[in-house]
Amino acid sequence: MISLNSKMIGFDRQLKKEWLDLVIEMLHDGETRDKITEALNKYIGNDLKGKDAIRKTRLVINRMWFNPNSQLEFLRRSALELFNEARTENATSIIHWGMCIACYPYFRDIARICGRLINLQGYFKRFQVRQRTMEIWGERPVVRRTVNHVIQTIMYWDLIEQKDASGKYVISKFIEIKNPKLISWLIKAYLASRESKTASIDDLRNDPVLFPFSIDINIDSLLLNKEIELFNQGLKSEILILRTIDHTDDGIT
């Protein structure tokens, strides 16, 4: 059994939306990793000082888009295919959110805690999120510090805002996703974020990890998706399963 104090955090930097938009846009345009790294270093350098800070921030982004991970490859590929539609609808934060919860269990858990608190009381405070995160990830200084990085990242994406001087955070932008392709992609990212790679329809509808988004789940559309399998468990429970698709021959360069 893995100790709480040995679980890898991974997401230990604040990420601005424009940095992530740049990476997706350049990948979509077929740019090489070296060119993307060069551009990203300059872009991040406008906000951060010091080579080490820039490098560590870039590493968090690289794990989502470049590190070998066959379970994420299909998400990367389909995200790039949807980039123009997401950009047109001013909804690239959907892609960033999906990649973060699929790649980083730490981000996923904090997002779920934030969403659950908002559902319960209409807001959350940092100390509430920090306390609940340490129950899952251990009472470590790195957890105490990096919880703030995740919260600040979500603020950078304009999905939450600080309501007043009391330190309450609320949803600032609730995104209703109507594009069936974006809905399907976010569902795949959600399934990829779960250890079992499965979820019931009720899980999907009620899980607070997707708290900034509203999605209309169309069963017929999901049945047409080759990477999602649906079967009935009992009389009323419908289960979604993420299929394993082999894209080893055509990964991102």
Percent share of the chain, pLDDT over 70: 92
Question: What's the first-to-final CA gap in the chain, in angstroms?
Answer: 36
pTM listed for this prediction = 0.91
Tokens for 221, please give them.
């559309």
Q: What is the pLDDT of residues 224-246, one digit of tens each?
A: 678 888 887 765 678 888 876 54
pLDDT of the residue at 1:
43
pLDDT of the residue at 6:
56
Q: What is the pLDDT of residues 141-158, one digit of tens each?
A: 999 999 999 999 999 999
Q: What is the pLDDT of residues 202-215, one digit of tens each?
A: 899 899 999 999 98
Which of 226, 183, 222, 187 minimizes the C-alpha distance to 203?
Answer: 187
Q: How confident is the model over 49-55, as a mean pLDDT?
A: 94
- Rounded CA gap, 51 and 55, in Å? 6
